[in-house]
Structure 1
Amino acid sequence: MEISPHKQRIATSIVLAVLPALALIFQGWVLFTVLSLFCVLTLWEFYSMFRPVRHMTAFKSLGAAFTFLLLGAFTTGDVRYPSAILLAAFWASGFIFLVRYNRDTSASYRHAAIFLVGLIYIPMNFHFFLSMDRMEILLIIGAAAVSDTAAFYAGSLWGKRKIWPRISPKKSWAGSIGGFTACALGVTVYGETFGLPEVALWKWILLGGLLNVAAQMGDFLESAIKRSLDIKDSGSILPGHGGLLDRVDSLLLVTPAYALVAMFHPFFR
């Protein structure tokens, strides 16, 4: 019996919710392990998007090692350690380039640059989860999920006028407005229920709007990267969704956006 793409999307979403749920229940080393493995898989997928893939083989293994080192460094609470890890990653990628260039003067620094961008794009953006409590993590994941889901259905029902057809042909203004409205409403209800009582209503609405804009920009960025590489999906590991990066592209910008705002204005205890 063939399962429709829509049902595949729903089933995949349910399965994907299990690991974050376990990480949230136990936190500590469980959260670190789940987040690290997820970042490694997503990072490998990101590197595999660039051709020729064989040139990224060494960087994929190196990226996995530096992901664990980088996330581990952030758990110390000392900013010197993550900075040192990133510098080490820079010089390690530079050394690989030197060896390749010595063998072949036509070798490009492009893949070394992609290696560094990948570390910033994925584990650097996701490391904020390690310093957040359960309520904050649920807010961020929920805001990204509500934004994507509402935009999908609103766009499917009423979407005619496209936003950036060259970047994402299916993204419409109706979907954008639907996602924005749903996210602002969802964040406000969640915040009023679980957040600090002294946080004004308008601040929750503003936060919801900000997180939705971040979600949409994260989505557009990944779409632009794929189109520039002439590929449809970042991978095929998730039935109905494509790749891991296709699923978390909006979350990659929502997470640091919330972390930045929360640095200046706490929303939870």
Structure 2
Amino acid sequence: MLRQRVITGLVLAVVVFSAVLLLPSFWFGLAVFAVCLGGAWEWGRLCGLHALGRRGLYVAGIAVLTALGIWLAFGAGLLWPVVIGVLWWGLVLVVLAGYDPQARTGNQAHWRRYGLVGAGVLTLVPACIALIWLHQMQPALVLYLIMLTATADSAAYFAGRRFGRHKLAPRISPGKTREGLLGAMVAIVPFALLGAGYFQIPLALWFFFICLCLITALVSVAGDLFESVLKREAGAKDSGTLLPGHGGILDRIDSLTAAAPVFLMGLLWGAVMAR
């Protein structure tokens, strides 16, 4: 299993880095759009849309909404398709804080299922638009965001194993600890400093950029936890089997779906990078 996971991880890294650095923004956008639809297919299954026709309609709906959002963002120059994603993840933080896995009966379970179906739209559409936007600004920003979320995840894992004592979200993911989260935040600071230097961000904006990276890393944890909620509700260990040793598409992009809209809006709001 470990050997399979490592091989898949290396192949994914090569494919992703090549796509980000070598593809023009149009083709990169199509690739991200395809990944978004693959994630929608898995999301629909986890939400109980087991009939292929119903799941196909769900994916088609997300495709249409994503295309509309892309047109609004790049054709009309509107930010609100991404702003909705930022607001959504603020709401997710509240939902995660009050999540009760035992409440699965009656109307509450019924409405929770419909809520998760809608959550797929709010999760995948803004993330797709944000990643395409970041690539148009500068492809290296996409790689930086991917490495930022990976750094936070790895640091949280190792810090949690070494120092973990207090559970972060025991009702959702018993393996995550507060000490692990703190370790992730500590690791992000030097990574943010490296990013500020690489992107030649004005010195006056370094503090803002570091704070943005910290907030982005925190929100990426929410993305991970929310997918855990989705899988818990479905009684599934992984979102799919497409990636041997890693699970499905959602298992690889859960943190990124939350981080991308927040990172982009922070850059634009703080005028850190040119729009």
> What runs of 5+ residues in structure 2 fail to find an aligned partner?
82-109
Q: Does 1:27 align with 2:32?
A: no
For the structure 1 residues 165 and 34, does the alpha-carbon distance in structure 2 shift closer, same or farther, using more than 3 Å as the test? same
Aligned to 1:97: none
Equivalent pair of 1:43/1:118 in contact (CA under 8 Å): yes
- Distance between the aligned counterparts of 2:73 and 2:206, measured in 1? 33
Measure how far apart 1:54 and its partner are: 1.2
How many matched pairs? Answer: 242
> What runs of 5+ residues in structure 1 fail to find an aligned partner?
84-107
Secondary structure of residue in 2 paired with 1:192:
helix
- Distance between the aligned counterparts of 2:206 and 2:67, measured in 1? 40
Residue 166 of structure 1, aligned match among 164, 168, 171 = 171
Equivalent pair of 1:199/1:267 in contact (CA under 8 Å): no
Query: Match for 1:119: what amino acid?
Result: V
Query: Match for 1:129: what amino acid?
Result: L
Higher RCO (C-alpha under 8 Å, 6+ residues apart): 2
1:72-87 correspondence to structure 2 within 5 Å: 72-74=70-72, 76-78=74-76
Aligned to 1:57: 55
| Partner deviation per Cα, 1:221-256 (whole Å, 9 max, x = no partner) | 111222222222111222222211111111111111
- Distance between the aligned counterparts of 1:227 and 1:243, measured in 2? 15
Aligned Cα root-mean-square deviation (Å):
2.9
- Distance between the aligned counterparts of 1:164 and 1:68, measured in 2? 31
- Distance between the aligned counterparts of 1:252 and 1:61, measured in 2? 17
Equivalent pair of 2:46/2:230 in contact (CA under 8 Å): no
190-199 vs 167-176, which deviates more?
190-199
- Distance between the aligned counterparts of 1:221 and 1:114, measured in 2? 10
249-258 vs 174-183, which deviates more?
174-183
Equivalent pair of 1:217/1:250 in contact (CA under 8 Å): yes
Residue 236 of structure 1, aligned match among 235, 241, 250 = 241
Aligned to 2:107: none
- Distance between the aligned counterparts of 1:220 and 1:131, measured in 2? 25
1:245-264 correspondence to structure 2 within 5 Å: 245-264=250-269
Percent of aligned positions that are identical = 26
Equivalent pair of 2:42/2:240 in contact (CA under 8 Å): yes
Residue 221 of structure 1, aligned match among 221, 226, 241 = 226
Aligned to 1:121: 123
Secondary structure of residue in 2 paired with 1:146:
helix
Aligned to 1:134: 139
Measure how far apart 1:184 and its partner are: 2.5
Secondary structure of residue in 1 paired with 2:247:
coil
TM-score for both structures, normalised by structure 1 = 0.78
Q: Does 1:14 align with 2:13?
A: no
| Partner deviation per Cα, 1:131-185 (whole Å, 9 max, x = no partner) | 2222321221111111112212222333232111111011112221121211222
TM-score for both structures, normalised by structure 2 = 0.76
Pair member with larger Rg: 1
- Distance between the aligned counterparts of 1:252 and 1:237, measured in 2? 18
Q: Does 1:192 align with 2:197?
A: yes
For the structure 1 residues 201 and 237, does the alpha-carbon distance in structure 2 shift closer, same or farther, using more than 3 Å as the test? same
- Distance between the aligned counterparts of 1:213 and 1:252, measured in 2? 13
Query: Match for 2:144: what amino acid?
Result: L
Q: Does 1:45 align with 2:42?
A: yes
| Partner deviation per Cα, 1:12-44 (whole Å, 9 max, x = no partner) | 222222333233222222211211111111111
- Distance between the aligned counterparts of 1:163 and 1:117, measured in 2? 23
Secondary structure of residue in 1 paired with 2:216:
helix
Residue 214 of structure 2, aligned match among 209, 212, 233 = 209
| Partner deviation per Cα, 1:65-100 (whole Å, 9 max, x = no partner) | 4266336525643168x98xxxxxxxxxxxxxxxxx
